[in-house]
């Protein structure tokens, strides 16, 4: 018997798991989903590093899912060791430089490029199509050496790096911006826990950044969640452990990083955000500091602004767990309630942790289900 449950969206885990009902069709496998009924939208807490205080959009605690086992592991790890994940085969890069770089990106992404200045060197954002749906999620790094010619390093899903480059090139027109694919030049490493002062050496500055060293392009806190991880962009010949004290690191694989993301409810890449299938607000861009409502116009801005001001978001990406590991759940499988009403879509999972796009109104129910036949293909219950 297989069961799913959503991870609590505030400061408590769901404790009640509804038992799977017996099925008349024995060829079906039953996955049961339960929810924390906390009203996570109504908590007004400032975001990091930017602050949004719109009366209808509030932000949950900085580390949204703060009471899971991973958070306990974080507190135990501080002061002893840290884990570094190499994401070379998972993340790609595009370098932009030229005097029009900031203005060019300002008209394309959901966030405000003016925030990428001073102490803020990393910015999360999304690129939308003209209908206001998410094409790509990106993290931008300010790697400028002088103000006269801004330079931005754009991190994205490696699978769509070529498509993103073509999209940027299409909108470039006559702007004085140079675009350079550079996925082969750099590697991305993430470090957990995020308390750099506890685990790193004297290369840490008072603001929490790592001082520039040979082979290190930039190292900044993940801009989506303050207490999630530190992201280090290095030359492809370097390793994350080269910048950490001897014996203070434990290498790990990208799959472990993705598991940690799902535990914290953080979407990333086309498996979690299929091209053109969801909006930035459904993807929790506000909670992840990925959208500005004061920056002005950008491609796809109309739907985002209208949804924001009406205050109605019917669906959201939410973290879920599969109680029995090893189950293959096809991406985009329908999730149904006890009345066989479709209430969402399954996105992706690593082991027992994953994400689903679910209707907010239906999370009040105690259980939802995914039906799979013996071959693992989706079956819609009658």
pLDDT in tens, 366-376: 567 777 765 54
81 vs 163, higher pLDDT: 163
What's residue 284's pLDDT? 95
User: What is the chain's mean pLDDT, rounded?
Assistant: 74
What's residue 210's pLDDT? 54
Confirm whether 216 is domain-assigned.
yes
Lowest mean pLDDT among 134-138, 162-166, 275-279, 368-372: 368-372
Which of the four pLDDT bands, split at 50, 70 and 90, describes residue 12? very low
Confirm whether 87 is domain-assigned.
yes
pLDDT in tens, 54-70: 333 333 323 222 222 23
Which of the four pLDDT bands, split at 50, 70 and 90, describes residue 157? very high
What's residue 274's pLDDT? 95
Confirm whether 120 is domain-assigned.
yes
**Strand order from edge to edge, sheet including 82-86:** 216-221, 230-235, 186-192, 82-86, 249-252
What's residue 363's pLDDT? 74
Which of the four pLDDT bands, split at 50, 70 and 90, describes residue 13? very low
Which of the four pLDDT bands, split at 50, 70 and 90, describes residue 324? low
Confirm whether 183 is domain-assigned.
yes
Residue 123's domain comprises: 76-263
81 vs 343, higher pLDDT: 343
Q: Tell me the mean pLDDT in the region 281-287.
A: 95
What's residue 139's pLDDT? 98
Confirm whether 287 is domain-assigned.
no
Rounded Cα–Cα distance for residues 127 and 372 (Å): 34
pLDDT above 70 covers a percentage of the chain that reads 67
Which of the four pLDDT bands, split at 50, 70 and 90, describes residue 51? very low
pLDDT in tens, 103-128: 999 999 999 999 998 778 999 999 99
Phi, psi of 197 (to 5 degrees): -65, -25
Q: Which of 94-98, 119-123, 188-192 holds the top average pLDDT?
A: 94-98
256 vs 42, higher pLDDT: 256
Rounded Cα–Cα distance for residues 128 and 278 (Å): 10
Phi, psi of 105 (to 5 degrees): -70, -30
Q: Tell me the mean pLDDT in the region 346-363.
A: 88
* Cβ partners under 8 Å of residue 373, min gap 6: 27, 28, 29, 379
In the chain, the number of structural domains is 1
Q: Tell me the mean pLDDT in the region 181-204.
A: 72
* Cβ partners under 8 Å of residue 175, min gap 6: 98, 100, 103, 104
Confirm whether 48 is domain-assigned.
no
What's residue 120's pLDDT? 85
Rounded Cα–Cα distance for residues 140 and 115 (Å): 11
Q: Tell me the mean pLDDT in the region 117-142.
A: 94
Answer yes or no: is pLDDT of 377 > 70: no
What's residue 23's pLDDT? 22
Confirm whether 170 is domain-assigned.
yes
62 CA to centre of own chain: 14
What's residue 199's pLDDT? 44
Confirm whether 101 is domain-assigned.
yes
* Tokens 């924001």 -> residue: 308
Answer yes or no: is pLDDT of 183 > 90: yes
CATH number at residue 213: 3.30.1360.120
């Amino acid at each position: 018997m297989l069961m799913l449950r959503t991870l609590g969206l505030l400061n408590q885990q769901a404790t009640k798991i509804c038992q799977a009902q017996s099925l008349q069709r024995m060829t079906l496998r039953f996955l049961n989903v339960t929810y924390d009924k906390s009203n996570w939208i109504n908590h007004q807490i400032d975001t990091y590093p930017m602050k949004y205080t719109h009366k209808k959009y509030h932000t949950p605690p900085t580390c949204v899912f703060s009471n899971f086992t991973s958070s306990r592991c974080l507190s135990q790890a501080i002061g002893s060791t840290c884990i570094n994940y190499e994401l070379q085969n998972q993340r790609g890069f595009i370098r932009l430089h030229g005097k029009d770089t900031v203005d060019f990106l300002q008209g394309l992404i959901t966030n405000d490029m003016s925030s990428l200045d001073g102490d803020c060197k990393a910015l999360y954002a999304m690129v939308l199509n003209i209908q206001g749906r998410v094409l790509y999620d990106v993290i931008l790094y300010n790697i400028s050496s002088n103000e006269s010619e801004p330079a931005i390093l754009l991190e994205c899903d490696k699978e769509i790096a070529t498509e993103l480059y073509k999209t940027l090139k299409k909108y470039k027109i006559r702007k004085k911006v140079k675009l350079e694919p550079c996925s082969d030049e750099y590697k991305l490493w993430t470090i957990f826990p995020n308390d750099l002062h506890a685990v790193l050496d004297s290369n840490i500055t008072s603001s929490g950044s790592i001082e520039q060293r040979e082979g290190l392009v930039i190292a900044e806190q993940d801009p989506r969640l303050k207490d999630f991880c530190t992201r280090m962009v290095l030359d492809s010949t370097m390793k994350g452990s080269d910048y950490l004290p001897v014996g203070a690191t434990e290498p790990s694989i990208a799959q472990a990083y993705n598991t940690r993301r799902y535990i914290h409810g953080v979407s990333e890449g086309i498996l979690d955000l299929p091209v053109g299938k969801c909006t930035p607000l459904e993807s929790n861009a506000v909670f992840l500091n990925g959208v500005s409502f004061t920056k002005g116009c950008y491609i796809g801005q109309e739907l985002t602004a209208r949804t924001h001001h009406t205050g109605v978001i019917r669906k959201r990406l939410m973290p879920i767990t599969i109680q029995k590991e090893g189950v293959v759940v096809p991406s985009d499988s329908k999730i149904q309630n006890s009345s066989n009403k479709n209430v969402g879509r399954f996105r992706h999972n690593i082991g027992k942790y994953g994400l689903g796009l679910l209707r907010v109104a239906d999370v009040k129910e105690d259980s939802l289900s995914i039906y799979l036949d013996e071959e693992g293909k989706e079956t819609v219950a009658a």
